[in-house]
Amino acid sequence: MIDYRITPTENFAEKTGELVSLLEHTREVTLSDLSDLSQSELDYLPDESGNSIGSLLLHIASVEFVHQIVSSENRDLTESEYLKWRTSLELGDKAREEIQKNSLAYYLNELCQVRQGTLALLKSKQDSWLSEEKKWPNGVPYNNYYLWFHVMEDEISHRGQIRTIKRLLKSGI
């Protein structure tokens, strides 16, 4: 059952625990939309420039992974990390060709593995870390709180796409 309260999460600093509560709620709602999807439904492309549900799920995981690195290690992806996540980060033609024929369990495992890393990272941080400011290469400031808000925002946006694809599948288009 999904909990519809935003509360501090045990074993996390107060604001960080509230962020975890938001991240976990977002994920629970996403997962509730995925039950019983077949491989062909996960691979379905709504049009020639669209993304499959499977691609969107890997994209959600890849964005979260990138934000772990940026927010905790203040660096870009290594070459091997980029090789692993590039296609799901960028989506497009390559993702339409390569991200397919995976089971729902595969995508759920990827999401779970990345989330475990996120929870370990956030558990190690104090609330003041959320406010630490940095600057993008173009000079625009941001903080860690914004980075993790963006992880949620990205997942919620792609969940909307997933729901649209599921409606198309149900309508037989």
Domain count for the chain: 1
- In three-state secondary structure terms, 141 is strand
Residue 123: CATH number of its domain: 1.20.120.450
Residue 23 domain flag: yes
Q: Domain containing 33: what range?
A: 14-171
In the block, residue with structure tokens 């994920």: 27
Residue 3 domain flag: no
Percent of residues, the chain, with pLDDT higher than 90: 89
Beta strand ranges found along the chain (DSSP E): 133-135, 141-143
Tell me the pTM: 0.94
Residues 129, 169: Cα–Cα separation, whole Å: 43
The 10 Å CB-count burial string (b at 16+, else e) for 55-93 is: bbbbbbbbbbbbbbbbbbeeeebeeeeeeebebbbebee
Can you give the pLDDT at residue 173?
61
Residue 9 domain flag: no
Residue 115 domain flag: yes
Can you give the pLDDT at residue 165?
96
Residue 53 domain flag: yes
Where residue 172 falls among pLDDT bands split at 50, 70, 90? Answer: confident
- In three-state secondary structure terms, 18 is helix
Q: What is the pLDDT of residues 62-74, one digit of tens each?
A: 999 999 999 999 8
Can you give the pLDDT at residue 21?
95
Residues 3, 49: Cα–Cα separation, whole Å: 36
Residue 7 domain flag: no
Q: Which two tokens stand for residue 126?
A: 């104090």
For the ranges 34-38, 98-102, 133-137, the one whose mean pLDDT is highest: 98-102
Can you give the pLDDT at residue 5?
85
Q: Which two tokens stand for residue 52?
A: 């499959």
Q: Which two tokens stand for residue 168?
A: 């198309």
Residues 50, 73: Cα–Cα separation, whole Å: 33
Q: Does the structure show a pLDDT above 70 at 124?
A: yes
Residue 135: beta bridge partners? 141
Strands 133-135 and 141-143, by their bridges, are antiparallel
Residue 104 domain flag: yes
Residue 8 domain flag: no
Q: What angle do CA 9, 33, 106 make, to 5 degrees?
A: 85
